[in-house]
Amino acid sequence: MALYRHDMQEIWDPVVAKHIWNQYHNQLDIYLAIAEGPSKRILDIGCAQGTLALILAELAHQVTAVDIRQSFLDYAASRHEHGDIRFIHADILELDLDERFDLIFANQVIEHLIHPVDFLRKLLGMLNPGGKLVVTTPNGQYLRNSLPTYSEVGDLAAFSHMRNTADAGGHFFAYTAKELAGLFEVAGFARPFITFFESPWISGHMKIRYLHRAMPVSVLRLLDRAMLKTFWLGPRMAHQLLVQGELS
């Protein structure tokens, strides 16, 4: 029922919570733009209810969707209508697959882990030459972030009981762009590419959600892009952080 309620707000009924609808569709558009082009072999880590994975499969990609929660995968499978997709119940750090992927998504996962470099190295080893890893996570530089950053939180082993926890209560630190890009480099990625996304114009934070009922989403996105492009303000006003790394 919780998953169904999420889907009602995010993809099925824009009237329920317009700002959540706009926020989620903005994220989907960013991810789908990265996957544009010829059919790819794509891995979606922490796929949750499978929305992104299912859409990618419907767009003719070959998709493997992985999650540690079997109930989420059962729900996702119940929504599958067409497209090449398989669902795997596993912890990615313990999963061995013979195949390699052209594109790997790990959205909103790394902030729940206590061994992020091991995670990134694992995914690096699952890429085809020229393949790309996309990681998104809440932005530790965000003006409204109240969590310690990765470098401030101290020994992550102290949080081992929270490993792989889901939803907001499972966030015990946040990454800055510099921190996460540095971990990509330690893991073996060269020149990771950083993007900030989802300012309050899209997230609805700071009471802006009330404007979503009256303003066209095209205007909200225009204001969002303008704010994020401001050199000194963009990183502070972005709720989310995206880092891309490639296997050369």
Encode pLDDT of 21-54 as tens digits: 999 999 999 999 999 999 999 999 999 999 999 9
Residue 170 lies in a domain: yes
Residue 137 has pLDDT above 90, yes or no: yes
Count of Cβ atoms closer than 10 Å to residue 73 Cβ:
21
Percent of residues, the chain, with pLDDT higher than 70? 96
Residue 170 has pLDDT above 80, yes or no: no
Residue 170 DSSP label: G
Residue 16 lies in a domain: yes
For 45-89, write each residue's pLDDT tens digit: 999 999 999 999 999 999 999 999 999 999 999 999 999 999 999
Question: What pLDDT does 131 receive?
Answer: 96
Identity of residue 69:
R
Give the DSSP H or E segment for 136: strand 127-138
d(CA 112, CA 105): 15
Residue 165 has pLDDT above 80, yes or no: no
Residue 232 lies in a domain: yes
Phi, psi dihedral angles at 199 (to 5 degrees): -75, 175
Residue 161 burial by Cβ neighbours in a 10 Å radius (0-12, 13-18, 19+): exposed
Residue 100 lies in a domain: yes
Residue 201 belongs to what domain range? 2-243
Q: What is the mean pLDDT of residues 125-139?
A: 97
Instruction: Identify whether the C-beta of residue 131 lies closer than 8 Å to the C-beta of residue 102.
Output: yes
Q: CA angle, 246 as apex, 47 and 225 as ends, to 5°? A: 70
Question: What pLDDT does 155 receive?
Answer: 82
Residue 211 lies in a domain: yes
Residue 82 lies in a domain: yes
Count the domains in the chain.
1
Which of these, 99, 106, 245, lies nearest to 185 by C-alpha position? 245
Q: What is the mean pLDDT of residues 83-98?
A: 95
Compute CA distances 66 → 43, 44, 104, 122, 196, whole Å: 8, 6, 11, 14, 25
- Per-residue pLDDT band for 166 (boundaries 50, 70, 90) equals low
- Per-residue pLDDT band for 176 (boundaries 50, 70, 90) equals very high
Residue 159 has pLDDT above 90, yes or no: no
Question: What pLDDT does 164 receive?
Answer: 64
Q: What is the mean pLDDT of residues 109-135?
A: 95
Q: What is the mean pLDDT of residues 123-137?
A: 97
Residue 24 lies in a domain: yes
Residue 248 lies in a domain: no
The CATH number of the domain holding residue 158 is 3.40.50.150
